[in-house]
Each structure stands twice: as C-alpha cells, then as structure tokens.
Amino acid sequence: MAGIYIHIPYCKQACHYCDFHFSTYLRTKPDLVDAICKEIRLQKSYLSGEPIKTIYFGGGTPSLLSSYELEKILNTITENFSVSKNPEVTLEANPDDLSEENLYTFKSRGINRLSIGIQSFNDNFLHLFNRAHTSQMATKAVSKAKNVGFDNISVDLIFGVPNQTLQQFQKDLEKIIALDTQHISIYGLTIEENTTFGKWKKTNKIQPIDEEVAASQFELIMDVLASSGFHQYEISNFSKPGFESQHNSSYWKGEQYLGLGPGAHSFNGNSRQFNIRNNSKYIKAIDDGQIPCNVELLTNNQKLNEYILTKIRTAKGISLKEIKDRFNFDFAGNYTDKISLYKNQGLIELSEYLMLTREGKLVADSITENFIVD
C-alpha cells in the first residue's frame, strides 16, 4: 500500500511563522494544476503499481482549489494509479475558505477527511500570526463541516507562542476539545530564520517563549487530551479511537509515497526525491517533460536514522526486533549506557520496544539526538 501527497503552494497571505513553500501570487494556479496533472502521468510508475490507500492535499492552502481543479487532480490520479476501495482522502483547509458551498463541493469530490488550521482561539495571537481568520470563524467552520456530513475532522493548534501564558493556552485547549472533533494535532511554535518571526527575533521584536512555560503547556496538552478520550499516538498527534491519520501513520511506518507539486518530496523505500520549491520553474520543467527534483539515494544508516527519528515519536516506539531484522543493528547492545541512564531518569521504558515516557516526551529531541547512528 502507498500514499500520494499533493502540495498546493498558494496562500491568501503569508503567516508570520510559516516556513513551508507557498506563494501569494495566485494567478499561476490553473497552470500549476495542469502541471501537477502532467506530473501525475510522468510519475505513474514511481510506486511500482502499489495500491493507493491515502491521498493528502497539503500546502500551502489546498482549500483554495476550485471544484474543477480538485476534480481534475483526483481524476488524473485514479486514471493513472490503482486507488484502493475506500481511500482516506484528506484536504488541509483554512477556516476562512470553509463556506457551506465549498464544503459541499469538497465532500462531493471525494474528500472524506478535513484538516482545519485553527492554530489559536486567541484573536490577538491570530493577528500576530497574520492568519486570515478569527477564532469565531474557526469555530463556525467546524460546525459547518459537521453539518455538511464530515465525520473525520482534524484541527491544528499551536502552543509555545511568545508571551502566551499557561492560563491562555488552557482556554485554547478547552475550546478545541469543545469542538468535539475526531483528531487534534498540536505543534510547538519554532521560530525559523527565513520567516517574519525570524526577522523579528533578530531585532528583538519578539522573544521565544520561556522553555519551562512551553514544557508546562505540553504537559497540560497530554493530561487534558488524555482525560478527554484522545490517544497520543504520535508526539504531536491525538485521536479518538480509530481516527488516527492513516496518511501520516504510513510515513511513520516507512511506507512508500509519491509527492506531487513544487516543494513536495517522495520516498520509494530506497531514495528520497525533492521537487524544486519554485512554482514557475516547476511549471516550466514539467511542461518540458522533466521532473525538477533532487534524488538522494539512502544508505543503510540514513534509513536506520529515519526509522529511529520517526518511530521514537510514536506511542508504540522503536521495535528492537524490527531494527535488527531490517537494518542489522543491535540497538540495545550499541546504546547500553544511554538506555540505562534514560531508564534511571524515568525518560524511557524498554521491553521489546523502546518508548518515551511522559517525562521523556518533554525532552524527545535531545533523547533522539543521542540515538542517531554515525
């Protein structure tokens, strides 16, 4: 089984924290959709005939696609790949695009999972982020989506915002739980250099949040969501039973996927392929019958490190047997001292699997760094 990711690199306006590939120049959108359809045809052998079980429209802002554009891309996928019977088809959407009319269109075109970017319920923070919606619009978008019949909805929230208090964040958590969706993704804000926030940080216009406050917010997330029936199946992802994102889970399982569009990347088990992050160069190259990408052949150690980096973040953790069978690597034998140190500190548990404890999740990055194989 395999997945397809389609990157729609357009946004109405630039969020101040965003480091993804996108453009606010929307006039090239029809040409880019044509180019994506051509890329689908050019890449039809990439997944070696594996059935497609998940399709994911990410971005950028895929909810800017018209009904015609969405249908065109989906039809081209089904004409060129063998799509399994009931695929999970996700569309990332911003609340300001979710009119009832758009929602009916998305549903009728085959979208069966929405991932709605709410980010905050505090309008001052939404303004600071330069989001194109208010908290009220976000709440209404979720209730409209439910009325239209969407029964698999994920919502995104950001924590660790500069000057955000624990009390303010607690209100966000209460509001997101009250929406009663099936899935919640919550990410800590990172200030990337090439963003507006990155520039503001250099000039001291904003300061990253105190690490202890961010850690308290993350502890609150884990406690409150667990007591509200959500399972933390990955460090940043929480779901009601049976509503884990199949698409993202397949990344974490190391399954193959094809990424289409500028800035998308693909993985076929042996190599990674990165499409150019430039809309006009992408369109031009695809027009000329070329896929503008860099291909990186993965060594055994690179594959092993990717396995460690992704699996350690999941609830199941790192399988010592799988790591031995797939990569011929004796994880416990190579890391005896580090494992006993982390066990004594209460940061990991070890059985057939190595898993982060609740405390370990708070320092996941530094633990992971110490398990990277040279």
- Cβ-based nearer residue to ligand SF4, 19 or 219: 19
Tokens encoding 364:
């996941």
State phi, psi for 196 to the nearest 5 degrees.
Answer: -60, -40
Residue 94 is a binding residue for ligand SF4 (CB under 6 A): yes
Q: How many residues does the chain have?
A: 374
Contact between residue 14 and residue 24 where contact means Cβ atoms under 8 Å apart: yes
Contact between residue 276 and residue 35 where contact means Cβ atoms under 8 Å apart: no
Which residue from 203, 119, 134 is spatially nearest to 164, judged by alpha carbons? Answer: 119
> Smallest distance from the beta carbon of 40 to ligand SF4, in angstroms?
22
Question: Which amino acid does the sequence have at 34?
Answer: D
Residue 187 is a binding residue for ligand SF4 (CB under 6 A): no
Taking the alpha carbons at both ends of the chain, their separation in whole angstroms is 31
- Cβ-based nearer residue to ligand SF4, 164 or 232: 164
Q: Give all strands (DSSP E) within the chain, no chain letters.
A: 2-8, 52-59, 83-93, 113-119, 153-159, 183-188, 231-234, 237-239, 257-260, 265-267, 271-275, 293-297, 318-319, 348-350, 353-356
Rounded CA-CA distance 342/325 in Å is: 24
> Smallest distance from the beta carbon of 181 to ligand SF4, in angstroms?
18
Cα 289 → chain centroid: 29
Which residues are paired to 159 by β-bridges?
188
Among 6, 11, 77, 191, binds ligand SF4 (CB under 6 A): 11
> Smallest distance from the beta carbon of 10 to ligand SF4, in angstroms?
8
> Smallest distance from the beta carbon of 17 to ligand SF4, in angstroms?
7
Question: Which amino acid does the sequence have at 327?
Answer: F
Question: Which amino acid does the sequence have at 163?
Answer: N
> Smallest distance from the beta carbon of 260 to ligand SF4, in angstroms?
17
- Cβ-based nearer residue to ligand SF4, 20 or 274: 20
- Cβ-based nearer residue to ligand SF4, 56 or 331: 56
The half-sphere exposure of 190 on its side-chain side, counting CA atoms within 13 A, is: 7
Site for ligand SF4 in 239-268 (CB under 6 A): none
> Smallest distance from the beta carbon of 273 to ligand SF4, in angstroms?
21
Q: What is the CA radius of gyration of the chain?
A: 21
Site for ligand SF4 in 286-325 (CB under 6 A): none
State phi, psi for 239 to the nearest 5 degrees.
Answer: -140, 155
Tokens encoding 219:
């502890």
Of 16-24, 137-145, 156-164, 251-259, the window that binds ligand SF4 (rule: CB under 6 A) is: 16-24
Q: Is 176 helix (H, G, I), strand (E, B) or coil?
A: helix
> Smallest distance from the beta carbon of 244 to ligand SF4, in angstroms?
22
- Cβ-based nearer residue to ligand SF4, 20 or 327: 20
Residue 60 is a binding residue for ligand SF4 (CB under 6 A): yes
Residue 90 is a binding residue for ligand SF4 (CB under 6 A): no
> Smallest distance from the beta carbon of 6 to ligand SF4, in angstroms?
14
Among 2, 3, 22, 237, binds ligand SF4 (CB under 6 A): 22
Residue 59 is a binding residue for ligand SF4 (CB under 6 A): yes
Residue 15 is a binding residue for ligand SF4 (CB under 6 A): yes
> Smallest distance from the beta carbon of 54 to ligand SF4, in angstroms?
20
Task: Count residues binding ligand SF4 (CB under 6 A).
Answer: 11
Site for ligand SF4 in 107-146 (CB under 6 A): 117
Of 15-23, 72-80, 203-211, 219-227, the window that binds ligand SF4 (rule: CB under 6 A) is: 15-23
Which residue is associated with the tokens 């070890």?
A: 350
The site for ligand SF4 (CB under 6 A) is made up of 11, 14-15, 18, 20, 22, 59-61, 94, 117
